[in-house]
Chain A
Amino acid sequence: MSNGNFFTSSVGRKSIMGATGFFLISFLVVHVAINSLIFINIFNPSDKGHTFNVAANFMATNWVIHIMEVVLVLGLLAHAATGIRITILNKQKRPVKYAIAPTSSTWYSRSMGLLGTLILLFLVVHLRDFWYPTKVAEFVNHDIDQFNTYQVIVAAFQNPIRVVIYLVGVASLFYHLMHGFQAAFRTFGLVNKKYFSTIQCAGKYFAIIVCTLFALMPILTFIGLIK
């Protein structure tokens, strides 16, 4: 009889990746949807970021969202920690390397550890830029009601270096999703002959749509379409 432990088995570890991955994907949907309110200002300049600020302030102060914030951090840490563990363990499984490395798969599917690390580094910058100031406004200065997130974003993306950092971050996320979305389904065995190509396709479109929207924010702000 088997004596393995599910959570330290190879499939168990991958299930943690898949489950947290699905959760982070659902967070991305909310994040990109709210951010997209910024685009209203291209079509209606008189809005001056008002619609976006209302949504942003709601997200920054609602207590349900506060709880979800904690869950999100835990989910992200679990995803990152398990991912690093899997990457290290898997690397040890081939002590002598090939003279010519195998290439029968896509580069990004083989580089999830690297892409994840880039995303993690990007998150440090990203949270410092936008999350930290709202927390200071809420808990230190107690003036979150007057806090103009929209203006903070517009000001931040006047800096070309920051725009480039954000585009690198979004590109890493793009390739991470291109593989991660379908991989999560496969980890849980949620594919079969009939739906395999549908899931792969859905993953690609999801990555393209989400990341294009994210990338447009710094770009359009920098070239002055959002101001």
Chain B
Amino acid sequence: MEHKNLSLTLKVWRQKNSKAQGGFETYKIDGISTEMSFLEMFDVLNEKLINEGKEPVAFDHDCREGICGMCSMYINGRPHGPWHGTTTCQLHMRAFNNGDTIVVEPWRAKAFPVIRDLVVDRSAFDRIIEAGGYVSVNTGTPQDANAIPIPKQKADAAFDSAACIGCGACVAACKNSSAMLFVSAKVAQLANLPQGQPERATRALNMLDQMDKEGFGSCTHTGACEAVCPKEISVLNIAKLNNEYLGASLTVARD
């Protein structure tokens, strides 16, 4: 791949805090290597801003290797930018051309309020997981590794669903700000495993109720989520979740 240096115009959402009215700031930036990641480009921008005595742009990141789900930039109308199945931290500047204008916004959803600049509060996801996205186990001696047989197909399906990193891009891309892809990935993962069976019905009910309470929208099956998910979580998980929820609604007495 040929190496180039890019000059870019960035339009970045700046917002002091959750209460403040935000707005776009425009920055010109030169000498961006096509080998850099998108976040490294922001590091360069922030160094420049600090040297000029200005506030750097706040943005979320942690692992920078596509596994933690912290990075969350909405780039040119797409969560995580133009590359398919890629997190913002794994997006590289060779995806752009010299002279491009790049518009960067935070995830936008009622349930994901902006904390500052490009950082949003995704603790709603934590509360959804707390509502049922786990299996309860008694402590004691660990079981033998192969004591519980799991068919290979089920294990594979559970593994695919478990790939969700909780980044929230699905919510960001959805016209309804629905968290169904995220919720369904966890419900489907545990519904496929024997360890998930005892809490299977209440899990689906409680996680979905929590999703509604947090202010996420309902799923109208546009498939926008799957298209932007960095882990390529399938919308079939949502069909499975619906199935689980409907079945549980019929069988579990709720108070």
Interface, chain A (partner B; CB < 8 A)? 1-4, 6, 9-15, 86, 89-90, 92-106, 109-110, 112, 179, 182-183, 185-193, 196
Q: In the complex the two chains form, is B235's CB within 8 Å of A186's CB?
A: yes
Q: In the complex the two chains form, is A1's CB within 8 Å of B103's CB?
A: no
CB distance from B200 to the nearest CB of A (A): 13
Instruction: State which of B78, B208, B243, B254 has its C-beta within 8 Å of the C-beta of A104.
Output: B78
Given contacts A100-B103, A104-B223, A187-B242, 8 further A-B contacts (CB under 8 A): A2-B252, A2-B254, A11-B242, A93-B215, A98-B105, A186-B238, A187-B219, A191-B239
Specify the chain B residue showing the minimal Cβ separation from A180: B221
Given A90-B217, A189-B240, are A99 and B249 neighbors across the interface (CB < 8 Å)? no
The A contact surface, by secondary structure, is loop
Alpha-carbon gap, A132 to B168, bound state (A): 51
Given A10-B217, A10-B218, A179-B221, are A4 and B176 neighbors across the interface (CB < 8 Å)? no
The answer to whether B228 has its CB under 8 Å from any CB of chain A is yes
The list of the 8 closest CB pairs from A to B, nearest first, reads A189-B243, A10-B218, A100-B77, A105-B222, A4-B209, A90-B176, A104-B227, A105-B224
CB distance from B163 to the nearest CB of A (A): 16
CB distance from B159 to the nearest CB of A (A): 14
Q: In the complex the two chains form, is A189's CB within 8 Å of B246's CB?
A: yes
Instruction: State which of A96, A102, A185 has its C-beta within 8 Å of the C-beta of B78.
Output: A102
CB distance from B29 to the nearest CB of A (A): 19
CB distance from B47 to the nearest CB of A (A): 26
Q: Give chain B's interface residue range (CB within 8 Å of chain A).
A: 35 or more
The answer to whether B129 has its CB under 8 Å from any CB of chain A is no
Alpha-carbon gap, A104 to B235, bound state (A): 14
Chain A residues within 8 Å of B78, by CB? 102-104
Q: In the complex the two chains form, is A14's CB within 8 Å of B223's CB?
A: no
B64-72, B92-100, B106-114 - interface stretch: B106-114
Instruction: State which of B11, B220, B243, B252 has its C-beta within 8 Å of the C-beta of A109.
Output: B220
